[in-house]
Homo-oligomer: A and B are copies of this chain.
């Protein structure tokens, strides 16, 4: 079950080059390419004639040509050329999907096309804002996007899954605050007067015995977008009141697109607004975040396997750390049911 009348990230924009890109979104095989003006196009990846994958064909003057019999389709999905005959059969074409290029992503709308308002695209400006430098990547995950939503809304796993990358001791003692807006869930934790974790020492110049105030502010926006505001400032320097001048901020943003009920396209970027002109730092952060998020992928894939083998027979328990997870899950269930 998917929430269809929403924008999802289908690809990084640099993935659309000279060759068509094949990607399955919510069980539908889709081909992505650019039209003659460079605008992104998404079409059903199956020729109207005999099902052949258009993504195996060529892009010719902004149209895509089927590799089997040479039928061509324009950006609207209309068939515009059938080799060997003057007229194209009336109505011949393939399904086209609304797409928008924004924030270095290609966004797709798989629901009712007339509801596809680009203003509804969630704000990921950090990914191409000149005041920020962002690194990012794509993971293919053999697990449900719902498990990944739970994962990203949950601060308690950091100490276990990311023990050697993001975790620090003593964090679990600080309370987590969960709040809800109509289309959002916020899970927030402030950690006061503790040493900085390794990544912040690296980027913020904190020393081993420096005490910092640290924040982990997860903003989840349905169906599957995460803006995660993390940072550290000199302890007591006013970060809780909004003064981050003696600290550093990073945004760790994630967005999930179902490939199928049990596999997910996972896009993320990690942005900073300081030391912008240091490519070595960018490189280091890219590597560190990729390692950390990759740790979650392994967890999710194992969890998916056990869940499928357990079937519906197993009763599960909830724990305190699930407060945000449960709110988000109820919200999404409700939206999917309403869309119906």
Residues of A bordering B, CB below 8 Å: 29, 45-46, 48-53, 56, 65-71, 79, 82-85, 89, 92, 150, 154, 156-157, 159-161, 172, 299, 302-303, 305-307, 309-310, 314-321
Contacts and interface: CB of A to CB of B under 8 A. Distances in A.
Contacts of A160: 65-70, 83
Contacts of A159: 70, 83
Given A69-B156, A159-B70, A319-B89, A45 B84 contact: no
A50 B149 CA distance: 13
Given A69-B156, A82-B319, A84-B172, 8 more contacts: A50-B150, A51-B314, A53-B303, A68-B303, A70-B160, A83-B160, A85-B320, A89-B317
Given A159-B70, A321-B69, A305 B53 contact: yes
A295 to B, nearest CB: 10
A247 to B, nearest CB: 25
A68 B299 contact: yes
Most interface-central of A50, A150, A157 (chain B CB within 10 A): A50
Contacts of A317: 48-49, 79, 89, 92
A132 to B, nearest CB: 31
Contacts of A150: 50
Contacts of A83: 156, 159-160, 172, 321
Contacts of A68: 157, 160-161, 299, 303
A46 B320 contact: no
B319 A85 contact: yes
A56 B150 CA distance: 19
